[in-house]
Structure 1
Amino acid sequence: MLITTRAIVFSALRYGEADLIVKCFTEKSGLKTYLLRGVLKSKKGKLKASLFQPLTQLEIVANHKDKGTLESMREAKVLHTYQTLHTNILKSSVVLFLSEVLRNAVKEEEANEPLFNYLEATFNWFDAHESIANFHLLFLLKLTRHLGFYPDTVDEEMEYFNLLDGTFQVIETNNYCVSNENLVLLKQLLGITFDDLFTVKLNQSGRAKFLMMLLEYYELHLQGFKKPKSLAVLNEIFN
């Protein structure tokens, strides 16, 4: 079926001498993987390799067979031209990290408009703002709402957060119970928007520890999720 849809690029992997395998999250069909033949050598075609940088927002015309195989794409154009995401070294490192997280975390091959709108809006915010050192922390925390394991805030005043159950509790009951600095930061981030991020004061150590906690939370709740290989680069950039 020929379909026109907005799409966000998660990854583009070279295949052979001239082909690309591109993974996109589409507004109308969820996660799709496309085989773009000859795109690395073509100079006259409607598809250019430069269109498929991580997290680029596109409008695509694609043929979806919906049989679990690689799909084909006929046309693509940029819907929102980023001003800083692929040129600012700090932001581009975050982009690589988040695109890897999304490849590992988002699996659904069906439309999820709230998730698509969340990704689109947050990446536009990230592109437009300069105070972004903690952006990836709040992004990952809010993303859990769309993935089905957002923290239960009913007992938020309690002194422990159980990563395994996603709940706050009075006492420590297993090795996945969080307290101290990570708990304080978790409660702070649960109550703010991206526009309030400037109020969060963190050093490199605190940021790294909280990120490791978040990634462990993802590992506990998403089957097959692994810590991104780009994590080391991200930590080095923020150090």
Structure 2
Amino acid sequence: MIINSPAIVIQSIRYGEADLIVSLFTKTEGLRSYMQRGVLKSKKGKIRSSFFQPLMLLEIEASHKNKGTLERIKDARVLTHFNSLHTDFVKSSLVFFISDILKSSIQEEEANVDLFEYLQTTILWLDTNEAIGNFHITFLIKLTQYLGFFPDVSDVDYEYFNMQDGIFQAGKTNLYCVKGDHVSKFKIFLGTTFEESMNIRLSKIARSEILTMLLVYFELHLHGFKKPKSLSVLREIFN
């Protein structure tokens, strides 16, 4: 079957001397993996290895056999040539962090158009904005809406956040109930836009504690989720 679809590069892994195994989140087919033969040595081919940097936005034509094996990209073009996403050190660190998060969060080989459009919009926003100090916090919170475990805010005035159940409550009922300044700050993010959330003032400690809490929250709600390898770099930058 031949498919044509916009796609987001999640990761690419070198295979041998000249090949790449590429993981793409496609708009029409969900998460798919492809073997690109000879792309690392090809100088004249239409498909370049530079196309497969993390979070690149592509338009692909691909052959899908749907047999659980690696598929093949027949043609690809870059949809957006970024201004700063892969050249600005802070943004490129966020790119690797987001890529790591998505590797553990997206598993389905089926379309999720709303999630795709959220990721596409978010990537473009990051490329074109300079105030990005709270970007990773906002990105993770909004991502939970599309993965099905956005916190229930009906009792948001209670001081405890129960990470296991995704609710706010008056007292502690399990090991995953937390309270404190970082929970109070976390509440402010809920329901804000990306632009508004960049104006939320956080101490280094609060930013770090919110991030730690969110990653535990993801671990509790996503089977197989792993803390991103890029986390230490991100903490160093934003702390």
Q: Same fold by TM-score, threshold 0.5 exceeded?
A: yes
**Which one-letter code corresponds to 1:113 in the other structure?**
V
Q: Which residue of 1 aligns with 2:84?
A: 84
Q: How many residues align?
A: 239
Deviation at 1:151, TM superposition (A): 0.5
**Which one-letter code corresponds to 1:212 in the other structure?**
T
Matches within 5 A, 1:221-236: 221-236=221-236
Deviation at 1:180, TM superposition (A): 1.1
Q: Which residue of 1 aligns with 2:148?
A: 148
Percent identity reads 54
Deviation at 1:204, TM superposition (A): 2.4
Counterpart CA distance in 2 for 1:204 and 1:70 is: 43
Name stretches of at least 5 consecutive residues in structure 2 with no aligned partner: none
Tell me, what secondary structure is at the counterpart of 2:103? Answer: helix
Kindly indicate whether residue 125 of structure 2 is the aligned counterpart of residue 125 of structure 1: yes
**Which one-letter code corresponds to 2:24 in the other structure?**
C
Counterpart CA distance in 2 for 1:185 and 1:211 is: 12
Q: Which residue of 1 aligns with 2:10?
A: 10
Please give the TM-score of this superposition, normalised by the length of structure 1.
0.98
Consecutive aligned runs of 4 or more in structure 1 exceeding 4 Å deviation: none
Does the Cα contact within 8 Å between 1:100 and 1:228 map onto a contact in 2? yes
Does the Cα contact within 8 Å between 1:46 and 1:74 map onto a contact in 2? no
**Which one-letter code corresponds to 1:73 in the other structure?**
I
**Which one-letter code corresponds to 2:142 in the other structure?**
K
Tell me, what secondary structure is at the counterpart of 1:31? Answer: strand
Q: Which residue of 2 aligns with 1:212?
A: 212
After superposition, give the CA deviation of every residue in 1:74-94 in whole Å (9 maximum; x if it has no partner). 111110111111010000001
Please give the TM-score of this superposition, normalised by the length of structure 2.
0.98
After superposition, give the CA deviation of every residue in 1:157-203 in whole Å (9 maximum; x if it has no partner). 11111000001111111111121112112210002100102321113
Counterpart CA distance in 2 for 1:56 and 1:24 is: 10
Counterpart CA distance in 2 for 1:198 and 1:6 is: 29
Tell me, what secondary structure is at the counterpart of 1:119? Answer: helix
Tell me, what secondary structure is at the counterpart of 1:23? Answer: strand
